[in-house]
Amino acid sequence: MKEPKLLFCCLGLLFTAGLLSGCGGREEKTTIMLDAGHDPTWPGTQAEISEEAYTLQLAQTVGTVLEESGRYEVTYTRTEEESLPVAERVRKIDEEKPDLVLSFHGDAIGSGDDRSQICILADVPQSPQHEASLQAAQALRQAFTQDDQVPFTGYLYYVPLRNETYQIQLVSSEDTAVHEEETLDLMSASVPVAQISLIRPDSAADREAWAGEAGMQDAADRILNGLDQFCASRSPSPTPGS
């Protein structure tokens, strides 16, 4: 299995969304699993802040906001600085089967040369989780869209190079062509996953804007808004398997 850290290590995580059972009018709360990208052995970008620590703090802030809304039940892949390989995260997700998984990163890779753009990744078009994952990604894009910032939404593919290295290719969410290449390992979970990479804090101003208390709270509020939109867009789920 390829090592996601090889090139742009940062994209790694998953944010998965589950099946909508809790959405669209069901009485049960929607279950969201929050995945803080990276860990001490794979710390991600070390810019003005450590990405590993940033995602952990963001996941906790988002979790608090979601629970306080009364509409979501929140679980986490990791809640401390523990080593947690992607395969282990997928195992946890598949055990719990949340309605949706949201994976956080702090290294927006953007599209093209624009590294300041928020990047939201969905599961690829040929995946059974594609539709719900993409709906979650699109709802989050809407929630994070501002006058000077429109998040990129799309898919990530690993294009094999020599010696087991891979090049990352980002494709717009409108490009539904089937690629042979693989995508993020986290997307192999049995429930929908969406991954959001927020801006990488490269400067003290970035750090304050994104990793300061107000910045974290703003991101959490937008994520709550995006999830509410996601749920509203899903009709009550039909009886599975019938």
The DSSP code for 199 is: P
Nearest approach, Cβ of residue 140 and Zn ion (Å): 17
Q: Is 215 in the site for Zn ion (CB under 5 A)?
A: no
What contacts 183, CB < 8 A, 6 or more positions away? 123, 124, 127, 155, 156, 157, 158
Nearer to Zn ion, 9 or 224 (CB): 9
Q: Which residue has the tokens 């019938």?
A: 242
CA 29, 73, 105, 89 dihedral sign is negative
Answer yes or no whether residue 185 interacts with Zn ion by CB under 5 A.
Answer: no
- Is the distance from CB of 190 to CB of 100 less than 8 angstroms? no
The only residue of 4, 10, 117, 137 in contact with Zn ion, by rule CB under 5 A: 10
Selected range binding Zn ion among 98-106, 141-149, 160-168, 183-191, rule: CB under 5 A: 98-106
Site for Zn ion in 22-81 (CB under 5 A): 37, 44
| Candidate segments 4-12, 23-31, 71-79, 211-219, binder of Zn ion by CB under 5 A | 4-12
Asked if 32 and 98 touch (Cβ cutoff 8 Å), the reply is yes
Contact 182, 158 (CB under 8 A): yes
105 is a contact residue toward Zn ion (CB under 5 A): yes
**Shortest reach from residue 151's CB to Zn ion, in Å:** 16
- Sites of contact with Zn ion (CB under 5 A): 10, 37, 44, 105, 107
